[in-house]
Structure 1
Amino acid sequence: MRPTKTELAAYLDDLDSGAADPREGLPDPVFQFVLKTTPMINVDLLVRDALGRVLVAWRSDEFGEGWHIPGGIIRWRESFAARLAAVGRLELHAEVAPDPDPCRVSQLLESGRGHFISLLYCCELRTPIPTDALAADASDTRPGQLLWSSGVPAALYPAHEIYRDLFVA
């Protein structure tokens, strides 16, 4: 049986009063609901090396698996710059220097995960990526493993098909 509007409002008030800081992320059930009902805004980091290769990370989740351009969903009251820095730190284990504006804005209506507005930023590495975080080749598919890709990865994460053209030098 569906809750009444009053019951739902009371539940949400209760959740809000005891919820963790939304800047730290949402509890998974709340996040899954929001994914189904609200567009998400995320930043993706396009990092190229001197050879023109693109830095990708391995991802495997309920929406698919494959190599993807690292990125993250912007948290409540978080700036683009703060999320870009957090992705650099958390996914690349490095500091990044992003361009001031996105080089591409994409809207994914049917990503499988939900409705996303993706802001792609060209970034340079300020610090090197730790050697143990880099895969020797595309067969090293440990979660979060990083790879310098010289072409379109054979296993490209489904939602990142929108970036296929970026892998062609």
Structure 2
Amino acid sequence: MLAQADFRQAVEMLPLVSIDLLLRDASGRYLTGLRTNPPAQGAWFVPGGRIRKNETLRNALQRIARDELGLPIAPDAWQPRGVYEHFYGTNFSGEAGRSTHYVVLAYEADLSLDIACLPQAQHHSYRWLPAEVIAADPGVHPYTQAYFKERAP
């Protein structure tokens, strides 16, 4: 792990590679959480996280699902949904003028879970919503809406 100053410099100079988790329940609804931390703080967003150096995609999926959902989910349960780019005008500390660029690998899985048991570190509230509602909800971050606009009728 990098010291915060080194990580800040890396974020200013390089794109970060991350995974976003599109989790669908038995009713076809998707999980979103109200972001606690920058970037995207205060917006509804899907769970996700950064891939670490020398971490395989398989291991990253396992770790991020465990950290974000509190569950061990087998990497084989996830299906790739596409590659996206996210650009923010702030960094992980919310410092304006210090942009962040993510290359995001979106993965989808079917799994129902109790949102009352989810970790609160990155999101302080959760909800299940149909794709078309997520795509139209102004409280959902536009980067999350993009995952679902292509699915909305």
Matched, 1:143 2:119: no
Paired position in structure 1 for 2:97 = none
Matched, 1:42 2:23: no
For residue 47 of structure 1, report the CA deviation from its aligned partner: 1.0
Q: Deviations over 1:37-91 (max 9, x none)?
A: 0011001111111221111122133433211111110011111111111121111
* Amino acid across the alignment from 1:132: A
Is the 8 Å Cα contact of residues 80 and 107 (structure 2) preserved in structure 1?
yes
| Bigger strand share | 2
Pick the structure with greater CA Rg: 1
Q: Deviations over 1:4-45 (max 9, x none)?
A: xxxxxxxxxxxxxxxxxx3xxx22222221111001100111
For residue 100 of structure 1, report the CA deviation from its aligned partner: 6.2
How many Å separate the matches in 2 of 1:120 and 1:167?
Answer: 14
Q: Which of 82, 89, 93 is the equivalent residue of 2:70?
A: 93
1:145–1:51 Cα change, 3 Å: same
Matched, 1:75 2:49: no
1:157–1:79 Cα change, 3 Å: same
Aligned residues: 135
Q: Which of 120, 140, 148 is the equivalent residue of 2:106?
A: 120
Bigger mean CA deviation after superposition, 28-37 or 151-160: 151-160
* Alignment root-mean-square deviation, CA: 2.6
Matched, 1:66 2:43: yes
Give me the TM-score of the superposition, normalised by structure 2.
0.72
How many Å separate the matches in 1 of 2:148 and 2:88?
Answer: 15
SS at match of 1:147: strand
Structure 1: gaps spanning 5 or more residues: 1-21, 135-141
Q: Deviations over 1:80-133 (max 9, x none)?
A: 11111112111111232445652111123x3334111100011233xx634523
Matched, 1:155 2:139: yes
1:164–1:36 Cα change, 3 Å: farther
Q: Deviations over 1:118-150 (max 9, x none)?
A: 00011233xx6345236xxxxxxx934322122
Structure ranking higher on relative contact order (CA contacts 8 Å, 6+ apart): 2
How many Å separate the matches in 1 of 2:33 and 2:102?
Answer: 19
How many Å separate the matches in 2 of 1:100 and 1:132?
Answer: 23
1:30–1:160 Cα change, 3 Å: farther
Percent identity of equivalent pairs: 27
